[in-house]
Chains A and B, each alone.
Chain A
Amino acid sequence: MDNGESSYRRFLDGDDNAFGEIVEIYKDNLIFFINRYVRNFAVAEELAQDVFVELLMHKRRYNFKTSLKTYIFTIGRNLAVSYIRKCSRRPECAYEFIENEQDTALLEDEFIKKEQQRELHEALGRIAEDYSTALHLIYFEGMSYEQVGKVMKKNKKQVENIVYRAKKALKKEMEKEMSLDENE
């Protein structure tokens, strides 16, 4: 498995089906990742589309020095961060969508099969954004610290620190959740 690099080469050579393959490989993971930032599934889906539009518009910008996954997730993070920034400046955001609970549930079902994982996902949503992003990329996307560093624009050491603190924060959140469940 080459994470879509070979498909990308074919896409550069003009094979439109190759682009479909890349979309198929990364679409869901990307939406799930962006959703962690924007906390709105429809917006996440639109932003994920924007990531692929970026790929179409600037085909030659990807130089194969990093993995395609890192490249796509970096674009996704950048778009999500700019979207959030834009939303913080204006009350009306670039994408105005009503949260579709069903869609969100479908996606979450796919990724969070077990109840424990669901709790973990919820706890991830409550910790700091940098912590949840780092943990998501490492544990959900299987990225290395270097790759995470590239996506988050941090060095390896910084990522290690973030992951260490993120784990601590997550543990705290999970314990809080469990103690609440016990009280009920």
Chain B
Amino acid sequence: MKTNEEFIQGVYGKRDALVKKRKKRMAFTATAVCAVLCVAAAITANFFDDNNLTKFSHTTEIEQGGFMNQNGNEAHSGQLKAENKYSDKVQSEKTEAFTKVPQDYSLLCEDNALMPEIATEIAIEGVPEGVAGYDGEKEEGGAEYAGETVTMNGSAVIEPATEVHKNGNTNEVKPTMPAPSKEPMASTEEIVEAAYSVIPEEERIYVIKDSANATVTRYADGRQEYEVGFQTTQDKYIKVKLDSELNPIWQGA
């Protein structure tokens, strides 16, 4: 049997153990609550990120040349969730979109109410600096079309914009077309081969294939035409005209 002192000591000891246990439980509860709050915050942040992606997917449509992609939103949102670098991604996608604009220019002019606006914006703003394949300083290409009012399939007219200088003066800025690519879209061999195949078989036997002389014609809208001339053994010169897709436009002597 315990003495009074031992008994009281035991009581205090039990009390201390109980208090310690409660503190431990409180700390555990606090940790659990913190963890739950962190998870909730992360979920909320993801939710807002998803909402912002609507804007991003719109940019993606421009990149794709105006073709509306219904599944684009889902695909890209999934991609972005993984990377979680929304703003960087949007910036890079925009740059990519502008890079592709000269080639896909005609697609922007289709009967889509949104497209002429975008085309105008691109024409006025030009391709951003630092984009590969375009040098804003060079006159060739871009300069060729400067000062002209460009009509695209009759659906949109680019009006001259007004530029405000630092000193307050305003200048009328003529919109300029982006420079068409100087390189042919197809290789010389491909062009010659395509042109050769256009020639009828009865004439082809007289054609000296090695004498082929190809000329590339570039148009403002980025289109290219190829003209290939062949010498024949019958003192005849055969010309074949091909479009960008290497389809025959015209063939004759």
* A interface residue numbers (CB < 8 A to B): 19-20, 23-24, 27, 41, 45, 48-50, 52-53, 56-57, 100, 103, 106-107
Contact = CB atoms under 8 A, between A and B. Distances in A.
A23 B1 contact: no
Interface of B: 1-2, 4, 7-8, 10-12, 14-15, 18
Contacts of A48: 7
A45 B15 contact: no
A23 B7 contact: yes
A52 B11 contact: yes
Contacts of B8: 19-20, 23, 52
B1 to A, nearest CB: 4
A50 B7 contact: no
Contacts of A27: 4, 7
Contact of B14 (A23, A53, A107): A53
B15 A23 contact: no
Given A49-B10, A56-B11, A23 B18 contact: no
Contact of A45 (B2, B12, B18): B2
Nearest to A28: B1
B2 A23 contact: no
A53 B1 contact: no
B11 A103 contact: no
Contacts of B2: 45
6 A-B pairs with least C-beta separation: A103-B1, A52-B11, A53-B14, A56-B15, A53-B15, A49-B10
B231 to A, nearest CB: 107
A20 B15 contact: no
22 contacts: A20-B8, A23-B4, A23-B7, A23-B8, A23-B11, A27-B7, A41-B1, A45-B1, A48-B7, A49-B7, A49-B10, A49-B11, A52-B8, A52-B11, A53-B14, A53-B15, A56-B11, A56-B15, A57-B15, A57-B18, A100-B1, A107-B1
Given A20-B8, A49-B10, A53-B14, 7 more contacts: A41-B1, A48-B7, A52-B8, A52-B11, A53-B18, A56-B11, A56-B15
B15 to A, nearest CB: 5
B11 A24 contact: no
Contacts of A56: 11-12, 15
A56 B13 CA distance: 11
B3 to A, nearest CB: 10
A49 B10 CA distance: 7
Q: Which of A24, A27, A53, A107 lies at the interface centre, i.e. has the most chain B CB atoms within 10 A of its CB?
A: A53
Contacts of B14: 49-50, 53
A106 B1 CA distance: 8
B189 to A, nearest CB: 90
A82 B2 CA distance: 23
Nearest to A56: B15
Q: Which of B1, B8, B14, B15 lies at the interface centre, i.e. has the most chain A CB atoms within 10 A of its CB?
A: B1
Q: Which of B4, B8, B11 lies at the interface centre, i.e. has the most chain A CB atoms within 10 A of its CB?
A: B11
A19 B4 CA distance: 11
